Amino acid sequence: MKRAAFLLVLPLLAACSEPPAPPAPLKLVRTLKVGAGDAANSGTERSYSGEVRARIETTLGFRIAGKIIERRADVGQSVKPGQVLARLDPADAALQATQAEAQRSLAAADLARYRDLKAKNFISSSALDARETTFKAAEAQAQLAKNQAGYTTLLADRAGVIGQVLAEPGQVVSVGQAVFRMAPDGDREIAISIPEGEVAAFKPGQAAEVSFWSAGTAGKPLAGRLREISPVADPVTRTFAARISLKDADPLLPLGMTATVRFSGTAGGSQALVIPLAAVFQQGDQPAVWKVGADGTVNLQRIKVAALTDAGAVVSEGLAGGEQIVAAGVNLLTTGEKVRVAAPGAGK
């Protein structure tokens, strides 16, 4: 009887003892090797279209107001120092000079009479001093009017090329209003525009290579250097104006000619690594990536992002070529967790 009861209890005990749960499957992640593929190479070289500009561009205008009666310079014309560019109607300036000279002559005559009266002690010293002051003021006014009469002729103050004509004969211009825009002979530069998403990767002093589309200069790239970047974006295009200085360039290189500027690497000449945006894990204010070890363990690696481009994030610090990182699903991982790497081409 006891044996029969024992045999009946055995199946019940076997049913109460459950087998251990199987281990959780490792997460399947897609990885990439840093520095391999087109995405990595797309950030190491950038090309921009630009045009040849003078380093210094001068705006020329008259020092007095008046009506333009003659223009002697055209767009693209080379000018020399002292060359006449335009003239104003001199009639009003001549009348003002004549009036000022007449006032000076009257003041001089009055001063001569007062000096004779003072020599005879008929007037006080203060009266003579007043006439002395009146004469000096009239003399200065006459000289000023004479100078302004000469300002009716606009002269080139240096050698250069007229880039733009901003006023025509018959037009009345104010003091200092631009009449010509001139590019003086001298250094030539390349003007380019850098998109706001890429400007962080550039700093003044970065080396560049400049090539031209013109048949006369094609195939002759010049060494250049990033001289300046505007700190303010253009309000319309949202790009940043930059200037590339040229080494051993012809100072008479035609202005406005199209050029291509190529940059290799990021600022300072170091090679940048580009990774997909999905691979970046934001840990507070610090970007990071998940590095995959040889044993399949993932660990968080902080990085420095130099710029965000259409190709991905340009990483300047924190990663080296050949390292394996998680390319997607970065928000689902924890430090020290083991993962299973998907086979190349899986999920495509």
pLDDT, tens digit (0-9, with 9 covering 90-100), for 54-72: 888 889 999 999 999 999 9
Positions of the chain with pLDDT lower than 50, given as ranges: 1, 38-43, 215, 267-270, 347-348
pLDDT at residue number 34? 78
H-helix or E-strand spanning residue 59: strand 58-61
Same-domain status, 330 and 312: yes
pLDDT at residue number 269? 43
Q: Which residues of 216-247 are buried (b: 16+ CB within 10 A; e: fewer)?
A: ebeeeebebebbebeeebeeeeebbebbbbbe
Provide the number of structural domains found in the chain: 4
Q: Is the dihedral of CA 308, 310, 313, 314 positive or negative?
A: negative
Q: Which residues share a beta bridge with 173?
A: 66
Same-domain status, 206 and 167: no
Containing structural domain, residue 220 = 46-55+186-269
Same-domain status, 255 and 235: yes
**Taking the complete model, does pTM exceed 0.85, yes or no?**
no
Cα–Cα dist 181/55, whole Å: 13
Same-domain status, 131 and 31: no
pLDDT at residue number 39? 47
Cα–Cα dist 75/87, whole Å: 17
Helix axes 91-119, 125-150, angle to 10 degrees: 160
Residues 305-318 have pLDDT tens digits of: 877 776 778 787 88
Coil/strand/helix, residue 250: coil
